[in-house]
Structure 1
Amino acid sequence: MKNFRTEVHASDLSRSHRFFLLVLVSIGSSIIYTPAYLKNVFYDPLMQATGASNAEIGKMLSAYAITATICYLPSGIIADKIRTRTLAWVGFVSTAVLTFVYAMLPSIGMLYVVFVGMGITTILIWWGIRFKLVRLISEEDEYSRNIGVSYGFYGAAGLLVGLVSLGIVTWMANNMIMAIRTMLVFLGVLILLLGILSYLFIPRFEGEIAPSSSGFQISMVTEAFKNPVVWLASLTMFFVYFYYTGVNYTTPYLKDVMGASLGVVTVVSILRTYGVTLLSGPAFGFMAKAVGSPSRIIALSSLTAAAGLVAFTVLPQTAGMAVVAAIIVVALGFIANGVFGVVSSQLTEGKVPLSIFGTATGLLSVIGFLPDTFSSAWFGSIIDAQGNDAYPVIFYILAGAAVLAAVFSALLLAYVKRLPKAEMK
């Protein structure tokens, strides 16, 4: 093990050490958010165990989401001022503590406090180092590939932890309170272990903190805001995330419009949510590295996704076409997951300085994840008003978002080509 009192460069670490850190931050980025998003998988069990109503369950996640939105940009600023190792282990350990409190199934009021707390520990403290650590362990030409591989491990961890959690809940289904408590303790132990490993194995990196700075400097935020690459990457992220999350509406479309059986819909949903992530992240990462431009891959893939979304609007709405629709759904999931996995690589492609990389990541997150604040409510209102006739409207909107993602990727690519050669080295 290296002496972590001295600063190191990626090349100073062994290949196995760099790979271990890539796996650590990748699976950590999946597991640390699992407690906050349990309702997406275990909605009814959570209601039974906590005694919360539908509205209260929703408000818990809203409390987390609002806190997260407020914290994204500051998290990037903090990541540029504090060691990655410190933020990693503190973020993991503090989230583990809150998960153990969650496992006690306290009052609804206390649960609101827990969810706000997790917004602080997982976003303000931890989120800023998610992409920065991958950058720190990667040479310039390795980042696109490594971030793609990272999302592969992210998907694998989510699938494995999800299956184990499902096994716990199924095994203890006769006592749902004990089942949820056991599952949360299991998650808390995993997150605590990630914190310990972060403390032991993440070194001090050269250049992770600007040497001339002492404390917060508004100039870092100003520099990030003035950088065209940051804005172009953020707008690309916004539209990529918009259609990436919107692809979820293909599942009710299969069931309600195409008349697919519950079995087909379930299998397709699992493949789209978990299966494709294992392959799409690494595949798109390697493609981006081979082509030498994540933006080119994002643009071409987004246009392909737009074509697939439009295809849904012209498919005959019969059960006989359900298989064709299911294939398109899985293909769209593969593309959307893959593009989302490499979109942050545009910051590296555009040579965003490492000294403001965390701040840039924070801005990317604030803008990129904004669709979460309105898209579900918007699409839900369209479905409530128009029923099944709403799906073509939704798919056209998503196709438009995919086209705009391609446009901003092309603009970023054009900007990078105009950079002076000195900046490209």
Structure 2
Amino acid sequence: MSHAEKQSAKLSVRQLTIIFFLGLGYTIVYATPFIQYVFYDSLVATLGCTQQQLGYLITIFGIGNLLAPFGGMLSDKFNTKKIYLLSVGIICVLNVLFILNMTYSFALIIWAGFAFFALFLYFPAHTKLVRLVGSENQQGTIFGFTESFCGITNVIVNFIALFLFAKFANDTFGTNGLKAAIIGYAVLGVLSLIILAILVPDPGKPTPESGGESNINSKMTIKDWVSIVLNPRTWMSGIAVFTTYTMYCTLSYYTPYFSNVLGVSLAGTGAIAIIRQYGTRFIGAPVGGWLGDKIHSVSKVVGVSLAAAVVIVLVFMLVPVGTSAAVLTALTLCAGVLTYMARGCMFAVPSELKIPRKYAGTTSGVVCAIGYCPDLFIFVLFGYWLDKYGNAGYQNIFIYAAVIMAIGVVNAIITQIYKKKVLGKESAQDAA
């Protein structure tokens, strides 16, 4: 790498500012669809629904992942920035409409709207805009900081929401507080919308990072879309996300495993969960992304992180009851850091595999559909095992996670072989 390239690998203040507000936008878009993770009891009481019915909202939302490839095609064919701003704006409107009619039947409609605008339109546009923030040799660092900033803004936004909830929750079910929190999400969403409209350059205009070409592919056809869907590079990228996301989902089961099986106090497990959820994200994601750029291979970082995580999962299965909280905390920190190192790199794999930037929207949509499909079954599967087998179900969860992560390691190895044999050959032909 030349000195100029090394310099360009460093992010400017402007780039970091754009990434921060893209992270804020991401947090806002998914705040209300996943509001049950913050205001569970109040939401159930306000909607007057059962806990099973509440689960259907997430199921409806998760179906939107299957639509993302088609939304990605729109992001590639039309102006990505305009699609992004439109989807964020409509999410804010849906928030306002929801607080005007907080019934379960209307919530089903609103969550279907969230699925359409947050997953079909927003997610591919978000991923493409993140990729367009910098050059191809900055992708690991860019996506790593994006993941970290999503964590930081998540903490900020939800503390604001909690403050608003506490201030206005003066009724029996806390409905007024819930409304105030959602209004807070909408206001912050409009703020991020205005700032991003100013900061983010128009992707329809040539940029230095795009090689002087527009990042809108006006000739995008169904044939192009099918070729991207069937491209092995797309599937290698999708499997990287699928296996990493499985590792991420499994993290949440460590906390009840510690308390129910290993006998750690609830206070201890809560502290471990907080450290795992927030502390490791701020460190792991940017470090993983930076390392991926440093060694010129984000897929290697994903593969090594998954391999190390397999070992940790196996260790969790073997540690005896009575293991000290200090040892479990250390293992959890390692698992969290590895998870976020992989998450900070996983969406940069298409760049490493040299999938053209003008197809970034379609690619991210397909990768989203592949990578996040565990939302459709993994929690139901894990819940079934725990309901049927009790604490013994955790063994099934850990074995499943280890197998899936091992597949991710194999996928990373195949990616390296593909790069060497196929992409290397293409580079040699281009040079000739």
TM-score by length of 1: 0.91
Contact 1:233-1:409 at 8 Å conserved across structures? no
Paired letter, 1:178: N
Paired letter, 1:380: G
Counterpart in the other structure of 2:138: 142
The reply to whether residue 400 of structure 1 matches residue 403 of structure 2 is yes
Range 230-239 or range 302-311, more displaced: 230-239
Counterpart in the other structure of 2:22: 25
Q: Give the CA deviation at 1:172.
A: 3.7
Q: What is the correspondence of 1:5-16 to structure 2 with a 5 Å cutoff? A: 15-16=12-13
Contact 1:315-1:321 at 8 Å conserved across structures? no
The reply to whether residue 250 of structure 1 matches residue 254 of structure 2 is yes
Counterpart in the other structure of 2:369: 366
In structure 2, C-alpha distance between the alignment counterparts of 1:127 and 1:210, rounded to whole Å: 18
Select the residue among 307, 324, 334 that pairs with 2:311.
Answer: 307
In structure 2, C-alpha distance between the alignment counterparts of 1:163 and 1:267, rounded to whole Å: 17
Counterpart in the other structure of 1:224: 228
In structure 2, C-alpha distance between the alignment counterparts of 1:396 and 1:423, rounded to whole Å: 44
In structure 2, C-alpha distance between the alignment counterparts of 1:423 and 1:177, rounded to whole Å: 64
**1:254-300 deviation line (CA, Å, top 9, x unaligned):** 11011111111111111111221111111111111111101111111
Counterpart in the other structure of 1:353: 356
Contact 1:88-1:198 at 8 Å conserved across structures? no
Counterpart in the other structure of 1:81: 77
Contact 2:75-2:83 at 8 Å conserved across structures? yes
Q: Give the CA deviation at 1:50.
A: 2.7
Counterpart in the other structure of 1:123: 119
Contact 2:78-2:217 at 8 Å conserved across structures? no
Paired letter, 2:21: L
Q: 1:423 to 1:22 in 2, by over 3 A?
A: farther
Counterpart in the other structure of 1:8: none
**1:198-223 deviation line (CA, Å, top 9, x unaligned):** 33332222331125x1xx51122122
Q: What is the correspondence of 1:286-325 to structure 2 with a 5 Å cutoff? A: 286-318=290-322, 320-325=323-328
Q: What is the correspondence of 1:374-413 to structure 2 with a 5 Å cutoff? A: 374-413=377-416
Q: Give the CA deviation at 1:100.
A: 0.7
Counterpart in the other structure of 2:43: 46
Contact 1:105-1:181 at 8 Å conserved across structures? no
In structure 1, C-alpha distance between the alignment counterparts of 2:283 and 2:168, rounded to whole Å: 33
The alignment partner of 2:253 has SS state of helix
In structure 2, C-alpha distance between the alignment counterparts of 1:155 and 1:237, rounded to whole Å: 18
Select the residue among 154, 172, 178 that pairs with 1:180.
Answer: 178
Q: 1:146 to 1:267 in 2, by over 3 A?
A: same
Counterpart in the other structure of 1:169: 165
Q: 1:350 to 1:376 in 2, by over 3 A?
A: same
Q: Give the CA deviation at 1:55.
A: 2.7
In structure 1, C-alpha distance between the alignment counterparts of 2:162 and 2:416, rounded to whole Å: 43
The alignment partner of 2:165 has SS state of helix
Contact 2:168-2:180 at 8 Å conserved across structures? no
Q: Give the CA deviation at 1:173.
A: 4.0
**1:190-244 deviation line (CA, Å, top 9, x unaligned):** 1122222233332222331125x1xx51122122134221111112221221122
The alignment partner of 1:186 has SS state of helix
**1:401-420 deviation line (CA, Å, top 9, x unaligned):** 11111110111111112212
In structure 2, C-alpha distance between the alignment counterparts of 1:370 and 1:424, rounded to whole Å: 37
Contact 2:44-2:54 at 8 Å conserved across structures? yes
Paired letter, 1:335: L
Contact 1:155-1:274 at 8 Å conserved across structures? yes
The alignment partner of 1:210 has SS state of coil
Paired letter, 1:182: A
**1:10-29 deviation line (CA, Å, top 9, x unaligned):** x9xx9443333222212211
Q: Give the CA deviation at 1:338.
A: 1.9
Counterpart in the other structure of 2:34: 37
Q: Give the CA deviation at 1:181.
A: 0.8
In structure 2, C-alpha distance between the alignment counterparts of 1:248 and 1:424, rounded to whole Å: 47
In structure 2, C-alpha distance between the alignment counterparts of 1:317 and 1:358, rounded to whole Å: 48
Contact 2:46-2:103 at 8 Å conserved across structures? no
Q: Give the CA deviation at 1:424.
A: 8.6
The reply to whether residue 106 of structure 1 matches residue 102 of structure 2 is yes
Paired letter, 1:40: Y
Contact 1:85-1:198 at 8 Å conserved across structures? no
In structure 2, C-alpha distance between the alignment counterparts of 1:174 and 1:17, rounded to whole Å: 42
In structure 2, C-alpha distance between the alignment counterparts of 1:21 and 1:305, rounded to whole Å: 32
Q: Give the CA deviation at 1:33.
A: 0.5
Q: Give the CA deviation at 1:423.
A: 7.8
Counterpart in the other structure of 2:3: none
Q: 1:423 to 1:335 in 2, by over 3 A?
A: farther
Contact 1:27-1:153 at 8 Å conserved across structures? yes
Query: How much is the aligned-residue C-alpha RMSD, in angstroms?
Result: 1.9
Q: 1:423 to 1:48 in 2, by over 3 A?
A: farther
Structure 2 unmatched ranges of 5 or more:
1-7, 207-213
Paired letter, 1:163: F
Range 22-31 or range 48-57, more displaced: 48-57
Q: Give the CA deviation at 1:61.
A: 2.2
